[in-house]
Amino acid sequence: MARVQGEGDYESARRYNSRTRSFVKKAGKAATKRPTGGVDAAALRKAKSKSKGGRQDERDEKLLVTLMSRKAKKKGGTRARARPAH
C-alpha cells in the first residue's frame, strides 16, 4: 500500500521532529539564541534619513484628501455624471 503524502504523512513528521530535536541538542543552547551584534551606524543613519518624520504621514493624508476633492469638483463629481454609451 502506498504511503499518504502531505499532511497525513505522520511518519515523516515524527522523523523530522526527532532529527530537529537531536540537532538542537547537539548544537547546544548557542544554536537557539538570536545574534545580538551591534548595529551598523552608517546603515542606521541612512535608514533614518529616508524614514518619515512623526507628523509627515498626517500631512500627506491631508494633502491627498485635498487633491482628490479638487479633482472630484473639477470633474463635477463622478456619481452625478452619466457615462457615455459606446
Quick: pLDDT tens for 34-78: 666 677 778 878 887 777 776 777 888 889 999 998 888 887 755
The confidence score (pLDDT) of residue 10 equals 81
Neighbours of 40 (CB within 10 A): 10
Alpha-helical regions (H) of 1-86: 10-27, 41-50, 56-75
Neighbours of 1 (CB within 10 A): 3
Grid look-up 532529527 returns 19
**pTM, two decimal places:** 0.30
DSSP label at 29? G
